[in-house]
Amino acid sequence: MKIAVVSGKGGTGKTLVAVNLAAAARRAVYIDCDVEEPNGHLFFKPGDAKSREVTVPIPSVDASRCTGCRICTEFCKFNALAYVDNSVQVFAEICHSCGGCALLCPEQAITEQAYSIGRVQRGTLDGVDVWSGFLNPGEPSGVPIIRELLQEETKGPCFIDCPPGSACAVMETIQEADYCILVAEPTIFGVHNLRIVHELVQLFAKPHGAVLNKCLAGDNPAEAYCREQGIEILAKIPLAQDLGQITANAGIAAREDGKYRELFCRLLDRVMEEVRQCSNS
Partner 1 sequence: MKLAVPVDGSSMQTSVCQSFGRAPYFLIYDTETEEARFFKNDAAAAQGGAGIRAAQWIVDQDVQALLTPRCGNNAALVLQAANIKIYKTQGDSLEENIRAFATEELPVLKDIHPGFHHRRGRF
Under the rule (CB under 8 A), what is the footprint of partner 1? 56, 73, 76-80, 82-85, 87, 89, 91-97, 117, 138-141, 143-144, 168, 172
Instruction: Name the nearest CA neighbour of 110 among 74, 66, 150.
Output: 66
Count the neighbouring beta carbons within 10 Å of the beta carbon of residue 47: 8
Q: Which is closer to partner 1, CB of 37 or CB of 232?
A: 37
Pairwise CA distance, residues 44 & 160, whole Å: 14
Q: Which is closer to partner 1, CB of 120 or CB of 194?
A: 120
Concatenating the DSSP letter of every residue in 127-188 gives TEEEEEEEEPTT----HHHHHHHHSS---S-EEEEPPSSSSHHHHHHHTT-SEEEEEE-SSH
Shortest distance in whole angstroms from residue 77 CB to partner 1 = 5
Shortest distance in whole angstroms from residue 117 CB to partner 1 = 7
Q: Which is closer to partner 1, CB of 68 or CB of 156?
A: 68
Beta bridge partners of 114: 57
Shortest distance in whole angstroms from residue 83 CB to partner 1 = 7
141-to-38, 66, 93, 96 alpha-carbon distances in Å: 14, 30, 10, 10
Q: Which is closer to partner 1, CB of 123 or CB of 144?
A: 144
Looking at residue 281, what DSSP letter applies?
-
Q: Which is closer to partner 1, CB of 166 or CB of 220?
A: 166
Shortest distance in whole angstroms from residue 162 CB to partner 1 = 16
Shortest distance in whole angstroms from residue 126 CB to partner 1 = 35
